[in-house]
């Protein structure tokens, strides 16, 4: 069921992208290189794709919303699995799993067509 409007998704994109990038310092794992760089890359990718998405809060509007949502789902799955994929699960995993689940859920629950 896709009940999140694309405009709300856009707001969530920019807020969560910033949160992803700040999470190593907010949650105390900035001293763990792999654990730190995964959310930094995910946040940068989220912010970049948001700027180029064809929705209410996109600046350039070249990336179709359906492609954006597919990227969100893939990013969420990768972020959630990253502690085990990159071998830092014994040091930290919960922020990555929770942020990944958020991105995955947002990608699956957002409407596919913007109302602009």
Q: Quick one: what percent of the chain has pLDDT higher than 90?
A: 97
**Domain extent listing, the chain:** 6-109
Q: What is the pLDDT of residues 79-112, one digit of tens each?
A: 999 999 999 999 999 999 999 999 999 999 999 9
Task: Please give the structure tokens belonging to residue 73.
Answer: 């789902």
> What string of DSSP letters covers 74-101?
HHHHHHHHHHHHTT-TTT--HHHHHHHH
User: Strand (E) positions, 4-102?
Assistant: none
Q: Are 35 and 83 in contact (CB under 8 A)?
A: yes
Neighbouring residues of 74: CB distance < 8 A, sequence distance ≥ 6 = none
Strand, coil or helix: what is 1? coil
Residue 116 pLDDT > 80, yes or no? no
């Amino acid at each position: 069921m896709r009940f999140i409007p694309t405009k709300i998704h856009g707001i969530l994109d920019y807020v969560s992208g910033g949160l992803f990038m700040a999470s190593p310092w907010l949650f105390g794992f900035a001293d763990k290189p792999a654990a730190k760089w995964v959310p930094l890359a995910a946040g940068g990718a989220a912010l970049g794709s948001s700027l180029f998405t064809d929705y209410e809060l996109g600046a350039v509007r070249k990336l179709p919303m359906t492609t954006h949502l597919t990227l969100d789902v893939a990013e969420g799955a990768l972020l959630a699995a990253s502690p085990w994929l990159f071998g830092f699960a014994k040091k930290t995993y919960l922020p990555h799993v929770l942020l990944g689940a958020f991105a995955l859920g947002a990608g699956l629950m957002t409407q596919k067509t913007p109302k602009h």
